[in-house]
Structure 1
Amino acid sequence: MVKEDLIKIRIEKFKKEDWKKFCLDKNISLTSLIVNSVEGKILENDRRQIIAFIEKQDNLFVKIETNINQVAKIVNGQKFIGEIELKNFSNQLSEIAIIKKKQNEMFEKLYSMLTK
């Protein structure tokens, strides 16, 4: 896509400096700030932060799932689990399922925002 058109806008010098400082802090271009703001898109820096958050959440659940597998392996080896431990384990599994469902709903919303 070739960018041929040029739009000139006039703003006070101090505002331009504020905008440039904002862009520098966010590691984005001034053009990106203006275009994404006008089009209602997420800023590139925010997009990167969201993706990093999603990856971090995914890694957290991998660790939890690994712990669950370790408990299952121990129980299978001993062929026994106490009633209290079983109840606690079941409660934790239920809680994880609820959290995972909420996380997936949040991710769907984030993905839809990212694709704008």
Structure 2
Amino acid sequence: MKDGIGFLAVLGGFGVALVVWGIGATPALTGGFEGEGRDFSVVWLELPVMLLGTPALALGVWALFRRRSPAVLALAVLATLLTAGWAGAEWLETRVPEFRYEQGAAGPVA
């Protein structure tokens, strides 16, 4: 049972990292108007860090709590994955600029 939780911790870590990176890095990959502001460094910097760091963190928590009951172990791993996902989303939010274009002085085009 506890080994299954460890496997799910690693698998969940990969899943959380991939989903959070995919959502958070999209503005940097697509850019703004006519591709302005594209930043492909999120592919070779943030992606490997998140894909390797999140499962490693979940596996480390699993190793620390594996002598506890399976319910406590699963709760600790789940809390770790949620916290790592939130931290990754916050990091990408500060790292990837938000593209907002305001109307010019002429106003809306009719």
TM > 0.5 fold call: no
Shorter-chain TM-score bucket reads 0.3 to 0.5
TM-score by length of 2: 0.35
TM-score by length of 1: 0.33
> Which protein shows a greater Rg?
1
- Which structure has more relative contact order (CA 8 Å, sep 6+)? It is 2
